[in-house]
Amino acid sequence: MLMQNTILAATALQFADRIREREVHTPSTADEAPKRDRFSPEFRRKLVYFSLMVEVFIDMLGLGIITPMLPTYAAEMLTGKTQSVGLLIGLLFSGYALVRIFALPFFGAMSDRVGKRKLFILFGLGAYTLTSIGYVLADSYAALLTVRLIQGFSSAMVFPMVMAYVGELSPDGREGAHMGPITSASFIGMGTGPLVGGMISDLFDAKYVFLAMGVMAIISFSLIYFFVPERVPSKKKASRKGMFRAFLLNRTFSGILLYRFINAFLRGGFMAFIPLLIASLYHMSTTEVGIILACNTVLVGLLQTPFGRLADRFNNVSLVMYGNFIAAGALILLPVTGGLWGMIAAASVLGIGSALSISSAMAMTLRMGKDVNMIGSSMSMFAMAMSVGLVFSPLVAGEVNDSALGIVFVFPINGTIAVLGTIVVYFLIRNYRPASAEQSAS
């Protein structure tokens, strides 16, 4: 009897254990969810990549729509109040970039240490929304400049962090192919933005353009919040001293930063003063200005993906040099092209040259950042060099415009400076070899 009671007790305990297991697992399928997940890790990775690409497109579209009307919008505020209209318009673009110079290294290094790239992106997009309202409420040049500076600060938390996120997803040796579509989305968004902005400005009012920028920022915020997970920070940390040693004191990386400065210098003058050139010589509409800007920037975007693949297969140094020389030559000849179609042709050639050089330089930057586990810092410094170029280019162009030379000489002077700078770049990066090539050689 005692043995039977023992057996019955043991059986009852086993039965109770099974009941408890069913109570834990059956009502809630959370533990079984991973087994029944219909989406593979590869599909989820592609979904994240696609969401980032769409976010970049919408974000750059929202920024690009204010380009064709911001110079004239500021000029209306300044007319009759100062003789330095060109310089102050240039300050709007330079001030935006100047704030980025100080903010980008800070946010890049912090994102490498903390690893919360998604958090930085969301904060930046939230600030974008607020600046769109600030543009509408600005009733003076000082208020307009203040809003522009805040926008520059918030932008330092968005695009470089997205590029760093994508860089972490890209396999070694295929950085150019993976960065190409993201860069394409950014340029296509920036290129179609002026066209959309010009049409909105012509059909309605300039303030509706700023409101459209805010709507774009809200859409981008939603995409990142719902579809992009926060990545786990890397356990391998790099010291600040290592960052300066790897980047600032590296001959090749210094050359890449100088290239990015030069390319931004020639493109910055083009973007900021082409509306004034067209208005003074050809009296075209804002929509036609948007078409010219769109042809340049959209072409850069469309070519990023094929040129990104070229960057993985061919000599990056040669692609950077050829591309920047082509872009500088197109800028020098821009004022003599004449008419809408001539402007479109020159802007398109400038876009082809920029696309060829940017894709290769960005692939080089990403590879060097991977080598020292500081992708965020490398991409932020790459963007910082662009911001430095955008600071000086409109200021130089503004001084030339206000001088006896006038608007016609703005583009040849900027283009000539770009040619001389590109020659210096060659002597700095000519010995570059990717790590994969060095490993295969050994």
Query: What is the per-residue pLDDT for 65?
Result: 78
Query: What is the per-residue pLDDT for 423?
Result: 93
Run of H or E including 184: helix 175-203
Q: What is the pLDDT of residues 63-83, one digit of tens each?
A: 777 777 777 778 877 776 666
Query: What is the per-residue pLDDT for 246?
Result: 56
For each of the domains in the chain, give its residue range(s) and CATH number, in order of start.
47-231+240-433 (1.20.1250.20)
Query: What is the per-residue pLDDT for 82?
Result: 67
DSSP conformation class of 245: I
Query: What is the per-residue pLDDT for 419?
Result: 92
Which residues in the chain show pLDDT less than 50?
A: 1-13, 15-36, 235, 237-239, 436-442
Amino acid at the residue 33: A
Share of the chain above pLDDT 90, in %: 7
Query: What is the per-residue pLDDT for 20?
Result: 45
Q: What is the pLDDT of residues 319-338, one digit of tens each?
A: 999 999 999 999 888 888 87
pTM: 0.70
List Cβ neighbours of 148 (8 Å cut-off, separation of 6 or more): 92, 95, 96
Cα 5 to Cα 8, 11, 18, 272, 328, distances in angstroms: 5, 10, 20, 92, 95
* Closest C-alpha among 375, 410, 326 to residue 169: 375
